[in-house]
């Protein structure tokens, strides 16, 4: 019996082609997964930087608030501050701030357009140098009244600082309830002691903070300074 053998057909490389297609698909999936992971990492980093800047903005905004009462009552700054004119003994800032923080505060207060140390309760500033004239309802025009930097709590050194630029503008005065009652009552009737309620001076405080990694956050609040008779 004669056996007939089928002729061997030439290989066409179909398996190789299919394998390359699968490899390409897997590569695309891997790249997409990596891009998604990188995007998520960037989002997490951005959120962390924003949170750090927000916390810095909130925390450092409290510094001028702590200074307000004595600063307004004494109508100036202590002589230990560059440009200060009021005796240091009239202030108790040394008991409010640590020595290191007070040293930062002393140099943090900026100068106004006249070159004098800035007064938080001062009037809106005119245009000077590269700064525009201050406008109450446009916070971007407010001049810096204090620039302060502190060490980042997450850093073992002070190489990664967080800082804030603080701007303060007056926002009017409001009489407290009953302040005019004594005069209306002829100083004899109801409300005779109400004049002691005094008035509130209103200020807008804007804090623009930066944190490591170019994190930036802006917060704005209104501060009431109570003035009593």
Q: State how far the Cα of 147 lies from the Cα of 145, in Å rounded to an integer.
A: 7
- pLDDT for the residue 142: 94
- DSSP letters along 152-202, please? -TT-SSSSSEEEEEEEEEEEEEEEPTTTTHHHHTTTTSTTTTGGGG-EEEE
Distance between first and last Cα of the chain: 131
Order of strands across the sheet that contains 161-175:
146-151, 161-175, 199-211, 215-227
Q: What is the pTM of this model?
A: 0.71
Q: State how far the Cα of 44 lies from the Cα of 153, in Å rounded to an integer.
A: 19
- pLDDT for the residue 117: 94
Q: Tens digit of pLDDT for each residue in 15-32?
A: 777 778 878 888 888 888
CB 56 within 8 A of CB 209: yes
Domain parsing of the chain, residue ranges: 17-67+111-227
Q: Tens digit of pLDDT for each residue in 190-227?
A: 444 445 556 788 899 999 998 887 888 999 988 888 77
């Amino acid at each position: 019996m004669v056996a007939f053998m089928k002729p061997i057909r030439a290989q066409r490389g179909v398996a190789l082609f299919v394998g390359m297609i699968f490899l390409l698909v897997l590569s695309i999936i891997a790249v997409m997964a990596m891009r998604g992971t990188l995007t998520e990492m960037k989002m997490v980093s951005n959120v962390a930087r924003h949170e750090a800047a927000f916390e810095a903005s909130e925390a450092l905004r409290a510094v001028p608030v702590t200074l307000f009462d004595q600063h307004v009552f004494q109508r100036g700054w202590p002589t230990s501050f560059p440009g200060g004119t009021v005796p240091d003994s009239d202030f108790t800032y040394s008991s409010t701030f640590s020595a290191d923080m007070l040293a930062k505060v002393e140099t943090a207060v900026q100068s106004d357009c006249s070159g004098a140390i800035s007064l938080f309760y001062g009037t809106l500033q005119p245009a000077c140098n590269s700064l525009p004239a201050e406008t109450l309802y446009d916070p971007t025009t407010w001049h810096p009244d204090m620039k302060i930097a502190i060490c980042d709590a997450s850093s073992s050194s002070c190489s990664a600082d967080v800082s804030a630029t603080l701007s303060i503008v007056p926002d009017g005065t409001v009489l407290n309830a009953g302040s005019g009652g004594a005069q209306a009552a002829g100083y004899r009737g109801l409300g005779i002691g109400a004049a002691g309620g005094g008035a509130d001076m209103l200020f807008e405080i804007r804090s623009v903070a930066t944190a490591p990694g170019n994190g930036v956050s802006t917060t704005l609040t209104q501060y009431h300074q109570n003035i009593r008779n």
